[in-house]
Amino acid sequence: MIASILGQLIHLYSLIVFVNVILSWVVHTSHNMMVRRVHSATSQLVDPVLDPIRRVMSPITQNIKLDFSPFILLILLDQVSRMLG
């Protein structure tokens, strides 16, 4: 029961991470306030978890202009979800 609820929460959070990544590609060129609000809201949920991953990865990715931290987070979330069953 608890594992099922946690699994669903992880799935929901993974979706939020994915939406945040997609919106981060378009938010800077969009004049749509809804896009900006949704990106801001998802960033508030995602950035506190991504920041430690970014700090760990920064020596590796400092010359690369791509942020791999959401990908790493999604892999970690998937692994936790699999461990829950």
* pLDDT at 59 exceeding the cut of 90: no
Task: Indicate left, alpha or beta for 36 from its phi (over 0: left) and psi (-120 to 50: alpha).
Answer: alpha
CB-based burial label for 4 (10 Å; 0-12, 13-18, 19+):
exposed
Which of 81, 82, 74 is closest to 6 using CA atoms?
A: 81
Tally Cβ neighbours within 10 Å of residue 1: 5
Read off the pLDDT of each residue in 40-49 and give the average, rounded to a whole number.
Answer: 97
The model scores a pTM over 0.85: yes
pLDDT digit string, tens, across residues 8-29: 999 999 999 999 999 999 999 9
* Percentage of the chain modeled with pLDDT above 90: 81
Per domain, the residue ranges of the chain are 2-84
